[in-house]
Structure 1
Amino acid sequence: MTDTSTLLALAKLARTLHEQDDPAGEDALLRSITDSAVELVPGTEYCGITLVEKGELTSVAPTDDIAARVDAIQHEQGEGPCLDAAWANQIVRVDDYDTEGRWPTFVDAVRSQTPVRSTLSFQLYRGDATMGALNLYAHNANAFTDESEEVGLAVATHASLALFAARRDEQFASALASRDTIGQAKGIVMERFDVDAVQAWELMRKLSQDANIKVAELARKLIDADHPTKRRDLLN
């Protein structure tokens, strides 16, 4: 049963993750997650996060070199508890690497290259092309308990919600920027070709199809061509 102090700490973590507004963006958020997992989840000594985006594996925000190395071994071997957690299972627990029979190549590498002897992995989130896992590591066998799973699942759930919100906000900001760029380019087309807004949009849409590029990218090229010096100044 999770004690009151841990529940209060989890509540504080939830507020911190959802209210975080750091210039470093997602990197700072991910590091807050791994640091909090080490602090809150019983048995945890090291922590890292694996992200799978468009088939590419990346290890982010490790708390130390040991977590980074275990994550890297999973990526190199293409097997391991974090990958199983990310792709299919919500929780994957390894009590003792000396007796673990799953992922034999990965297990041998962990035993020979790191001091880790038990792990606990949680699926962070899952979308159409993006998923991830929160990976907790310990020196000792049988370091993780049922309470570890309970608290770790709570941390992973809060982390998933915070990551989803952060990426949603980023996508919204990107969409607004694209809209402004397209509007500026449309104004250039209207002025140069003496057409109205509808005609300018249709012309841009046809050009994007003929060139096989997105309208937003076409808009940026039009702006660069019309105001190259001004755009460079804005970017610098």
Structure 2
Amino acid sequence: MDDARQLLGGFAQLAQALAAARDEDARLEVAVAAAVELIARCDHAGLTVNQKGRLVTRASSDDLVCRANQLQTELGEGPCLDVRRDQNTLVSPALSAERRWPAWAPRVHHDLGVDSMMSLLVYTDEHSYGALSLYCAQGSRFDADDVAVAQALAGQLSVIIAAEMQIDQLGLALHNRTIIGQAQGVLMERYDMTADQAFDYLRRLSSTSNRKVAVLAAEIARTRRLPEPG
């Protein structure tokens, strides 16, 4: 009971720290530090982004996660490359006997001194996905309780990142809408168009030039003339 109460208190403190963090990078650092603190056998933690097969460490407790990610990229195999394809949570209780990654697992075990690891999916978008990577040192292995706490933490991290992505997308949409409105104003003033005619013109120009409406609108708003053909 005391352990459960302590764990709940740790998650409550984590929520407060995440709310107080100044930006997304700071929130990721807080979450990574919390992983090492809250998961009993976790010695190293990091948030890894997979961008079309290229692994980028967004936040980490130390350099080990970066080195493990570099090995995955070099060898073309590893949990952060497989987590989305196979399942949301990948656990390797003993890397010394791991067969899924025959090149990567022994290197991490022998070179980096890791016995057990977990990789948990935390978000996906059109071009990338992120995973929470957790490692424990030789002589220790993750158990079922560690997996349960890690999944709870990954779920909380998923909510944070999803909210950040929605805010970013909303900000971009509002910016694009403003730029398109400015371009419509230029077309209406210079070519005696209505607002609907100006927007239809932008859409046709986007289709024939294979350029995004927002890009064309920004050029028109900046130069106050039509884009050059081609």
Cα drift, residue 58 of structure 1: 2.3
In structure 1, the residue matched to 2:10 is 9
In structure 1, the residue matched to 2:228 is none
Aligned residues: 224
Q: Where in structure 1 are there 5+ consecutive unaligned residues?
A: 228-236
Cα drift, residue 194 of structure 1: 1.8
**SS of 1:47's equivalent?**
strand
In structure 1, the residue matched to 2:55 is 57
Q: Where in structure 2 are there 5+ consecutive unaligned residues?
A: 226-230
Aligned mates of 2:203, 2:157 — CA distance in 1: 39
Aligned mates of 2:53, 2:217 — CA distance in 1: 30
Q: 1:210 to 1:20 in 2, by over 3 A?
A: farther
Q: Is the 8 A contact 1:95 1:141 kept in 2?
A: no
Q: 1:137 to 1:63 in 2, by over 3 A?
A: same
Question: TM-score normalized by structure 2?
Answer: 0.88
Where does 1:1-236 land on structure 2 (aligned, <5 Å)? 3-17=4-18, 19=19, 22=22, 25-226=23-224
Q: Is the 8 A contact 1:87 1:131 kept in 2?
A: no
**SS of 1:144's equivalent?**
coil
Cα drift, residue 142 of structure 1: 3.4
Q: Is the 8 A contact 1:126 1:132 kept in 2?
A: yes
Aligned mates of 1:54, 1:186 — CA distance in 2: 37
**SS of 1:36's equivalent?**
helix
Q: 1:142 to 1:131 in 2, by over 3 A?
A: same
Aligned mates of 1:39, 1:195 — CA distance in 2: 62
Q: For residues 6-27 of structure 1, what are the alpha-carbon distances to aligned partners after superposition, in whole Å with 9 as ceiling and x for unaligned?
A: 112113324543x3562xx332
- Cα RMSD, aligned residues only: 2.1
**SS of 1:60's equivalent?**
strand
Cα drift, residue 140 of structure 1: 2.0
Q: 1:165 to 1:68 in 2, by over 3 A?
A: same
**SS of 2:142's equivalent?**
coil
Question: TM-score normalized by structure 1?
Answer: 0.85
Amino acid at match of 2:109: R
Taking CA–CA contacts closer than 8 Å with sequence separation of 6 or more, which of the two structures ends up with the larger relative contact order? 1
Amino acid at match of 1:70: A
**SS of 1:171's equivalent?**
helix
